[in-house]
Amino acid sequence: MFTLEQIEEAHSKVKSGAEFPAYIKEIKALGVTYYEYFVINGHTEFYGANNYKISTPLQYENLTIASIPNPAQFKADLIAHQQGKTDYLTFCNECAKSGIEKWTVCLEKMICTYYDTTKNDILEEQIPK
């Protein structure tokens, strides 16, 4: 099964959203089937076969997540990030300001879904292969 060190090694190669598809491909090859990323503090819970689960430590001080989502601003920030215009921490701060509480990634379906603080699906997108 995969280790936190393997996940961190794969993640260290991600400088912007432009590298996200390669990251997904790499962790999928390690055996990750699903993960949840929590914007508030940057911790992630990774899941694999047979109920395997590991969690990362907190990555930064708590951010304040806006209680009212701004889907239009979030989509603009996401596009900029995917084009390599922002780094990861900047993107996380923008997510918080736009009311994004977390995102989930299903590696089987290759879908990333972003949620607000009331668990509403704000955006679901196919991950490029």
pLDDT tens track for 65-80: 999 999 999 999 999 9
Q: 4-126 domain in CATH 3.50.50.60?
A: no
Q: Over range 44-63, report the average pLDDT.
A: 96
pLDDT at 19 over 70: yes
SS3 93: helix
Mean pLDDT over each residue of the chain, to the nearest integer: 94
pLDDT at 32 over 70: yes
